[in-house]
Structure 1
């Protein structure tokens, strides 16, 4: 079975890469690998685990400009609908790592600044 390489990019410049099976979530694999990612509900109803897709490997030749958003749907599907994100937030690259399953190799920015960009969940 194919797995996808998901690189988590932290605000301090460090990165962690995990190989994620398309039936697993990024959060599950990261925690299993000893990478501490914030999480709360694990159901897609809060924004604690939010990340932002910054690049999709398949798009490498046409990689977006530094501040150009990447649609999260280019890199991830969901186990269930992510109630804590709006369609516009998903189109801007935001992804809930607790329920996101990969569709491509990608880079995802994580950390408190990403969480602050989205704000509080309407369900929380």
Structure 2
């Protein structure tokens, strides 16, 4: 069971997806839209485009693609986090990478390789 408060259900009343309802700039929004365990992705997408027509949604890539195949428009969302080191009361903890991993300069990686990942 998902902790989300709202549910998209199939015709028989079975849960297909869960989400938290929000409003963004006057638009109803299905935040964290995720399929119910075992629900076929195609069935979820079919029902979401009907039940939540006109809504925005934040979801994982696979469901996003399935929705786009049914007419939804895609928009990438991301967050940027910063930390003002000079204003910090204590320095950040050093990053400890798992064994067998090592840092390297971002310029050392081909951007197409990152995009594919």
TM-score computed with the length of structure 1 as normaliser: 0.24
Structure with higher RCO (Cα < 8 A, 6+ apart): 1
TM-score computed with the length of structure 2 as normaliser: 0.25
If you compute each CA radius of gyration, which structure gives the higher value, 1 or 2? 2
